[in-house]
Amino acid sequence: MLVKDILSSTDAPVFSFEFFPPKKQEEWDKLFETIATLIPLKPSYVSITYGAGGSTRERTHNLVTRIQKETGLTVVSHLTCICSGREEIAGILELYREHGITNVLALRGDKPPGIATIEEAIKDFPHAIDLVRFIRNRFPEMGIGVAGFPEGHPETPNRMKELEYLKAKIDAGADYIVTQLFFDNRDYFDYVERCAFAGITVPIIPGIMPVTTAKGIIRMSELALGSRIPAHLLRRVLDAADDREVAAIGIDWATRQVQELIDHHVRGIHFYTLNLAEATLKIFRNISRS
């Protein structure tokens, strides 16, 4: 089922989870234990990431097709422009078509290690919009998501220009937007308002990742391209006695975020799970979805 159809099929918010392909073979069973633990939460779909420069490409494809086959869940596979040629992408999408996988998230991607500049890694797709156009033209049946940045994309300091680029991706064929993680819902609500002003009418799905360790909050900020950590949250984390307390703080904070988003009737919420189940399970126990 296409994500755009899932989002339009109900008035209630839908929930989705993101996983990444493990680096070590022995971690695959643990990941599928996590997936099995989260399936009772009835996610509407799950997404699978790529490494920088498509470095986990084969593992991503293996994981996408395995989840599709073994769980029956709707799966969204990340696709990146970096280090990708037209025929490579076409081959990937043909494989997905054969396996009944009909959703992708089109991204530019990060510069892989060992390459000095992003330009050196570019093949046929300089920007995400080029990938969106290619998919929509060659594989019109595919559902396409793109990324959004509530706090602003670090490479586009002009926020108005950033929205122009985003609108162009929607006009090229993207069906919905999923945001980078954020810790302050005001950033998300302002972003949605600015998108509407720019003529963007597709669903904008907020991305949530709970803090679980003191070191992790810094790493999460790096992964999110410089996500802003509110002073109150940072103070609580740094004052915590240990990571057990940090995890409780992070779950409480994320619960409050998710509940407020639900109360504002968002179309969906996307959880960055880091391949772990506990925090997501606790958030689901805490929230009211009625």
What residues are labeled active site?
18
User: Which tokens belong to 153?
Assistant: 């994309």
> How far does Cα 275 stand from its chain's mean position?
13
**Interacting residues of 229 by C-beta distance below 8 A, sequence separation 6+:** 183, 217, 221
CA distance 53 to 56: 8
Q: Please, which contacts does 255-259 make with residues 24 or more away whose CB atoms are closer than 8 Å?
A: 255/282, 255/283, 255/286, 255/287, 257/183, 257/185, 257/208, 258/208, 258/283, 258/287, 259/286, 259/287, 259/288
Q: From residue 187, give the alpha-carbon distance in Å to each of 135, 210, 215, 230, 283.
A: 30, 16, 24, 11, 21
Helix ranges (DSSP H) in 54-158: 57-71, 86-98, 128-138
